[in-house]
Amino acid sequence: MWIYAIKRIGLSVVIVLLATLALFALLHMIPGDPVSIALGPRATPEIQARYIEKMHLDEPVVMQFFIFIGNVFQGDLGADVFSDRPVALTISEQLPFTLVLVVTALGWAALIGIPLGCFSAVRPNSLLDRITGVFSVGTIAVPSFLVSIWAILVFAVMLRWLPVIGAGESGDIVDQIWHLILPAFAVGLGWVGYFARMVRASMLEVMGENYIRAARAFGLRRRTIVYRYALKIAILPTITLIGIGFGTLLSGAVFAEIIFSRPGIGKLIYDMVLNRNFPVVQGAVMVTVALYVVITLLSDLVVAWIDPRVRTTL
């Protein structure tokens, strides 16, 4: 287990570094003089010189990259071009909003999707199974940004039940939850279908295994068999799915944040791209990538921990 974990962690670090390098190279290919983009045409030569020195723009790009990476390890992601605010501070303010959104979305989807999948698998081809099947395909077929738009149309414009802008007053928990409902609904809806389908498929497989038949022969209650024994194994592919699908989940969160004008890392990247505030873009994208890699890593480690066979594959 430890060898697997160390190899897997090492690989993740390499991936984050490579991704950062790619991003760094990309943002340095932007045409135009970075100094005049950042400071505008009317900056005096002294200000320009100070900026060049501060951003190490007189160094070769490779050196700039290593300086950047070195700073990252000290928690310094650079500074906002306009306000000179540390990028790390801005991100640490925005990131919790995204995490709350993602976790809530995934949470409600799992709470509904996993039991739905279990029910369907226990009684295949029953009415409930069919309804679940249609419902799952239906939710998967509507892209999350479309769910956001249609949810706004139905719940905010037509019914006027829920607010659609912002994340609520800070400090007012009720208001914040109120503002979280629609975005979390939009981001999570497709996942209900994913969970239900995935759990149903692997559950059907597990229910045919010998140890389940043995448990049944012992006369254990059906519910005990399904939830205590079968689900524990049947949930594994779903955990991997969360790991792999976390990128899609983040994409969904980015859309939801932009559409609902909700603070968060996605909205931050979007706004900063429009403002051409590249240090912030660079830092925020890097944090997003790192987040994705860490989640994939965690899901792989959890699966390896539950299922020792996986450990030999790396």
Partner 1 sequence: MSAQPSESAAAKAEEPRVSERGEKLHLFLRNSQGMFGLVLVLLFFASAIFAPLLAPYDPNQLDIPARMSGPTLDHWAGTDQLGRDTFSRVLYGGRVALKIAAIGVSVSLFLGLLLGMLAGYGPRWLDNFLLLFFDTIRAFPTIVMALAVVALTGPSLELVLIIVIVTSIPGYARLARTSTLALKNTEFIVAERSLGASMGRILWRHVMPNVVGPLLILAAMDVPVVVTVEAGLSFLGLGVLPPTSSWGTVLNEGYLIIRDTPWPVIAGGIPLVLTTLGFTFLGEALRDVFDPRLRKGR
Q: Which of residues 75-134 bind partner 1 (CB under 8 A)?
A: none
Residue type, 7: K
Report the site for partner 1 in 196-215 (rule: CB under 8 A).
201, 205
Binding of residue 236 to partner 1 (CB under 8 A): no
For the segment 137-196, give every residue that binds partner 1 (CB under 8 A). Answer: 137, 140-143, 145-146, 149-150, 152-153, 157-158
Nearest to 87 by CA among 100, 76, 96: 76
Instruction: For the CB of residue 239, give the shortest distance to partner 1 in the complex, in Å.
Output: 15
Phi, psi (5° rounding) for residue 126?
-75, 175
Stretch that binds partner 1, among 18-26, 59-67, 124-132, 173-181 (CB under 8 A): 18-26
Q: Which stretch binds partner 1 (CB under 8 A): 52-60, 93-101, 219-227, 287-295?
A: 287-295
Q: At its nearest, how many Å lie between partner 1 and the CB of residue 190?
A: 10
Ranges of H-type helices in the chain: 2-28, 34-39, 45-54, 61-73, 87-122, 127-141, 144-151, 173-207, 210-217, 222-224, 231-234, 236-259, 265-275, 278-306
For the chain, the maximum distance between any two Cα atoms, rounded to a whole number of angstroms, is: 85
Give the shortest CB-30-to-partner 1 separation in angstroms.
Answer: 5
For partner 1, the binding residues in 241-270 under the rule CB under 8 A are 247-248, 250-251, 254-255, 258-259, 266, 269-270
Q: Which two tokens stand for residue 89?
A: 């501070």
239 lines the binding site for partner 1 (CB under 8 A): no
292 binds partner 1 (CB under 8 A): yes
Our CA dihedral for 175, 242, 265, 163, rounded to 10 degrees, sits at -30
CB 176 within 8 A of CB 222: no
- Residue 62 near residue 19, CB atoms below 8 Å: no
Phi, psi of 119 (to 5 degrees): -55, -45
Closest distance between partner 1 and the C-beta of residue 161, in Å? 15
CA–CA distance, 120 with 199 (Å, rounded to integer): 9
Residues forming the site for partner 1 (CB under 8 A): 11, 14-16, 18-19, 22-23, 26-27, 29-30, 137, 140-143, 145-146, 149-150, 152-153, 157-158, 201, 205, 247-248, 250-251, 254-255, 258-259, 266, 269-270, 273, 276, 278, 281, 285, 288-289, 292-293
